[in-house]
Amino acid sequence: MSLSGAEFNIDAVTGPVLGSHPVLGMGGAYTALAAGTDSVALNPAAFASRHLWGLEWFEWDWSFDFIPGTLHNTDFDNNGQPGFTYSDFVFLTFGLGLYFGDLGLGGLFRQQTYRIGADTDLNLVLGNFGIGHGFLDGDLVLGLGIRSAQLFVSRASMRQSLVDFIGVAPEAGVVYRPAWAPFRIGVAARAPVISEPLDRAAAERTSITTGLTLPAEVRLPWEVQAGFAWQFGSRPLNRKWVNPHDVEAELKREMHARWKARQRDAWREEQGVANEPTTDSQTHRPTNPAFWKAERMRRKREERDVEVEEIRLAGERMRAYERLSRSYLLLSADVFVTGPTDNAVGFESFLQQQRQSSGQRISVGVRAGATTEPIANRVKTRLGGYLEPSRFSGVGYRAHLTVGGEVRLFRWDVFGLFDPFDWRVGLTFDFAERYLNWAFGVGTWH
């Protein structure tokens, strides 16, 4: 049945796992492992969840991955009808995260671009933006954010949007990751997103000029997911996060205590008082110029000593991280529940301009994955799988097998712009009935 003349919504739920290759390689089972921009779409707690290598007060994290147009003649949305060809399909993801002590914030964009006909582009952009905070030395991390869904239609020759659908809704997540324990627990929940056209008249004009019947709304239904991870081996999954500012504050507190003690002792000596109570009163201030001349020199020296000690302790923390064993086997599993979408068709049905109802009922899925380092500090491998529930009546679950890994390459400072760091490349495949996909990623090695 054609969509022409009918009012409908788009069920924008994406059945297959699409994202960075670490997430895809683990079959999407990242709710409990959420850390860094790779996983903020799965759990907003990732905005502030530190990696093992997160040692500095301020750090930043980024990710970039793409899936090229290889989804030819597949049943992408698991509607039971393979055969639709995605010509010029591209999936891009880019994320940036900033960490300030226990606080973290950032965003992630995921864009799906389709060429329809000779000159019409459809772009579905999903975004996650938020903030998180760690508590109990990082054992408990909470995250709050918004997720957005934007659909815009454009003419490739015009290089401008003809119509935009935009909507946002809140989301929240938590990760419990007790220091030195071999497990993590994660939970996330999202409110439904309803994206409406910014200009209804523009939507009507676009339907006429492009020949596409556009939806009334683009919707992402509510979602709830929970995950559990356990790591075997001598490498820890979690560590207590040491805030460098707390270390600095303690060193300075001890330094100031020494200053006050010397000042009191000098005042007592001047006054000939042996048992004066130790207080912070400014009246306990010696007047001997010789004392203050020597004291100023001592204080400058101790301030330098504090700076040196901070650097030494930071180096110790880094060396302690580098000494950690690389021997581990990490297992993770997720359960996720997705709500219904009223009067909706799937995105693929929209591209085909055919009515096939989607999201009429709640769907439940499971994901699981494993990762290890067969060659320590050089090669990581991942194996995962997930049961993808169909959003279409009469179509059952589809089982996926994911496999991938990454390789450490070389150290480079990007023409002197950054401190040198190790680069890595990764490649991951996702196999299923009526579906085959792959993803390539570049980033930093840890």
Q: Judge if 132 and 31 occupy the same domain.
A: yes
Per-residue confidence (pLDDT) for residue 435, from 0 to 100: 87
**CA atoms within 13 A of residue 309's CA, in its CB half-sphere:** 15
Range of the domain at 418: 9-228+334-444
* Domain end residue (candidates: 322, 356, 386): 322
Residue type, 423: W
Same domain, 131 and 219: yes
User: CA-CA distances (angstroms) from residue 422 to 53, 234, 408, 414?
Assistant: 13, 23, 7, 11
Query: How much is the pLDDT for 89?
Result: 67
- Same domain? 13 vs 158: yes
E strand segments, 339-434: 344-346, 363-375, 379-388, 398-412, 421-432
Residue 146 lies in a domain: yes
Number of domains in the chain: 2
Q: Are residues 220 and 298 in the same domain?
A: no
Same domain, 177 and 311: no
Residue 2 lies in a domain: no
What confidence score (pLDDT) does residue 272 get? 74
Co-location of 293 and 372 in the same domain: no
Residues 149 and 186 in one domain: yes
Tokens linked to 238: 């979690």
Q: Is 328 a domain residue?
A: no
Mean pLDDT by 10 residues, the chain (446 residues): 74 85 91 90 94 89 70 72 60 88 93 76 90 93 95 74 88 95 97 89 71 85 97 94 92 93 86 63 74 91 94 93 94 96 86 83 95 94 95 90 93 80 89 85 80
SS3 content of the chain, % helix, strand, coil (to 5): 20, 45, 35
Rounded CA-CA distance 329/160 in Å is 48
pLDDT of residue 445: 85
Residue 236: inside a domain: no
pLDDT of residue 32: 96
pLDDT at 70: 55
